[in-house]
Amino acid sequence: MIMIKMSLVIDNLKEAIIGESIAKRKYELFSENAIKENQNEIAHIFRAVSSAEEIHIKNHLKALSIISKISIEQIKTELLEDIHYDINKNNNTISNLEDAIKGENYESKVMYKNFEKNALNNKNNLAELSFSLARKAEKIHAKIFSNYLRELKKNRPINAKKIYICKICGNVEFGNPPAKCPICDHSSKFFKEIM
Ligand SMILES: [Fe+2]
Ligand SMILES: [Fe+2]
């Protein structure tokens, strides 16, 4: 019985790593697309969130490696080598933001919510923490993308601002890094600026 539950947590970590890797790549492509449309601030936020998803990948990989006793490199080879990343050729920045909001909402409200519950039932603190940090960050990503989409649809200019991400949890902050990350409690030292 415990074996079955444990394999569920392992499967959830694998699914999360694949999902985050697709999101990371997708946002890079969305960013390139936004530059072509002269939407430089939207390109900037896509780059920042892409790099936040990378934090989630790292956290999940570390957790999976410890739980399954398989090296991070081996997990990457097994899970990520054959993933095909592509975006719809007819996309534009509005449809890309809508796509991103849908993805972030699914992750925070459905996927990570379930994964966190499974990890909790299995008393797996490591996976639970990794899922919980990602869930909270995805909620913020969804909100940020929604704000940008609203401004874009109203044809309002989006002002250039500094963007920071938390290297521990993938939280995104504007202007200055906060004294303490509202998601993971780490200090401003753990934030990096995304150019
Ligand atoms: Fe996200
Ligand atoms: Fe954080």
Closest CA to 68 of 126, 129, 19: 126
Query: Which token pair is 161?
Result: 């601002």
Q: Does residue 47 lie within any of the structural domains? A: yes
pLDDT for 5 equals 72
Q: Does residue 171 lie within any of the structural domains? A: no
Q: Does residue 170 lie within any of the structural domains? A: no
Ligand 2 centre to CA of 56 (Å) is 11
pLDDT for 90 equals 74
Ligand 2 centre to CA of 98 (Å) is 25
Say which ligand is closest to the CA of 177.
Answer: 2
pLDDT for 62 equals 98
- How many domains does one find in the chain? 1
Ligand 2 centre to CA of 90 (Å) is 35
Ligand 2 centre to CA of 166 (Å) is 5
Ligand 1 centre to CA of 53 (Å) is 6
Helix, strand, or coil (residue 127): helix
What is the DSSP-derived secondary structure letter of residue 174? Answer: E
Q: Could you give the CA distance from residue 85 to residue 89 in angstroms, rounded to a whole number?
A: 12
Q: Could you give the CA distance from residue 42 to residue 31 in angstroms, rounded to a whole number?
A: 7
Say which ligand is closest to the CA of 189.
Answer: 2
Q: Could you give the CA distance from residue 192 to residue 119 in angstroms, rounded to a whole number?
A: 29
Q: Does residue 85 lie within any of the structural domains? A: yes
Structural domain including 70 reads 2-155
Q: Does residue 187 lie within any of the structural domains? A: no
Helix (H) or strand (E) holding 25: helix 2-36
Q: Does residue 162 lie within any of the structural domains? A: no
Q: Could you give the CA distance from residue 170 to residue 140 in angstroms, rounded to a whole number?
A: 10
Ligand 1 centre to CA of 113 (Å) is 14
Which CATH number characterizes residue 23's domain?
1.20.1260.10
Q: Does residue 39 lie within any of the structural domains? A: yes
Could you list which residues have their CB under 5 Å from ion ligand 1?
104, 138, 141
Ligand 1 centre to CA of 140 (Å) is 8
Ligand 2 centre to CA of 127 (Å) is 16
**Mean pLDDT of each 10-residue bin along the chain, 195 residues long:** 74 97 95 95 98 98 96 94 77 95 98 97 96 98 98 93 98 97 98 98
Q: Could you give the CA distance from residue 102 to residue 98 in angstroms, rounded to a whole number?
A: 6
Please give the model's pTM, rounded to 2 decimal places. 0.94
Helix (H) or strand (E) holding 148: helix 125-153
pLDDT for 145 equals 98
Q: Does residue 45 lie within any of the structural domains? A: yes
Helix, strand, or coil (residue 11): helix
Ligand 2 centre to CA of 91 (Å) is 32
Say which ligand is closest to the CA of 173.
Answer: 2
